[in-house]
Amino acid sequence: LTLFRRLGNSAGEAATLTNLGNLHRRLGEYDRARECHEKALEIVERLKLPSRQISSLLNLANVYSSIGQLKVAQELLQRALSLCRSVGDLVREAQIHLSLGSRHQDAGDHALARKDFERALALFRKLGVRDREAHTLLSLGGAELDLGRMAAAKAHYQAAKVVYGSIGSTLGRAECAYGAGRAAALSGELSIAVAAWRQALDLYRDVQDVSGEATTLSSLALLIAPANCEEAHELAKRSVELTEASRLSLRDMEERSAFVDSATVPYQVAVFSSIRCGDPFRAFEYSERARARSFLDMLAGQVPAPTAAPDQVARAQLVTLDAELQSLLTNMSVPRREPRSGALAEL
């Protein structure tokens, strides 16, 4: 950076600032990342380089999304979208619509999200970018679920499955199976949901996707707990084990943020299945284990605070969890077990 500035090479300076900004963002140093990308944007705007301006705007949008300022991120994406249209950059125009849809989804604007996903889908199909087409179909399925349009959601998941199958993506097929399971569960088709999630579980294991496997195990456990609490508990226990193992490998702050957003669900499901099995003390153990894990992570400053809302299926079934646990602890006259030796070391 210093050498480019001495040489008066503004384009090189902007490129270096961009690289530095991306590095700071991955390290969770968002103020420094924003400063680098803002300086890079100033330079490329002065040099009248529209393609580089688009990149800088997208990088800034990523930073603002990371710190939860979604409105600012959306404004930056709209600016980038206008530039894409002015220079005829259809690929990034499609990608920006996909990003805008995701941000609308995060903000709870599901109708707006669907519109952007539909625009992205049309462009990706026009360009023949099959993997992005399939990804957008998955996103559309999620938006339709949030809008309560189950038939449309199922159609999108099926269409995505066909595309992923044509390009040989096992992970994509796993995501489709999981989405189809969610749609079935929310429609009350529980046996179909269980079958879809068992298929997703096999596919996630085939590609060694630990996160997908853990999420699917939790969902399965929730669904079968009323009928088979012991199997549900084994599934939930395995989900917790995978969650705790996977967290140790995370170094990127963006990945850590995503981990915290979803990591509480396996513990909650383990508590729920323990209650269903009539074991309040095992439920209490998982509850305290989750509290300790969250506290230690945040105390160490390893992860930002969680931002995402829990999955709809989990939310619907866990809403009475605290009341059930309290009732069981109050009504059962059995002695409290002491914590096992070495329990803290397992955290």
Show pLDDT as tens, one digit a residue, over the chain (347 residues): 777 777 888 888 899 999 999 999 888 889 999 999 999 999 999 999 999 999 999 999 999 988 888 889 989 999 999 999 999 999 999 999 999 998 888 888 999 999 999 999 999 999 999 999 999 999 999 999 999 999 999 999 999 999 999 999 999 999 999 999 999 999 999 999 999 999 999 999 999 998 899 989 999 988 888 888 889 889 988 988 888 777 666 555 555 555 555 567 788 888 888 888 888 888 888 887 777 766 655 555 444 444 444 444 444 444 454 454 444 434 433 322 232 233 222 22
Return all residues near 147 (Cβ < 8 A) that are at least 6 apart: 110, 111, 114
3 state DSSP class of 317: helix
pTM of the full structure:
0.75
CA distance 197 to 150: 17
C-alpha span between 173 and 161 (Å, rounded): 5
Predicted pLDDT of residue 304: 45
**Identity of the amino acid at 77:** L
Q: What pLDDT sits at residue 340?
A: 29
d(CA 35, CA 5): 17
Is residue 26 within 8 Å of residue 37, measured between CB atoms? Answer: no
pLDDT at 311: 47
Are the C-beta atoms of 223 and 205 separated by less than 8 Å?
A: no
pLDDT, position 256: 56
Q: What is the pLDDT of residue 332?
A: 34
Nearest-angstrom CA–CA distance, 337 and 288: 14
Where do we find the tokens 């996630």?
Answer: 204
What is the per-residue pLDDT for 35?
Answer: 94
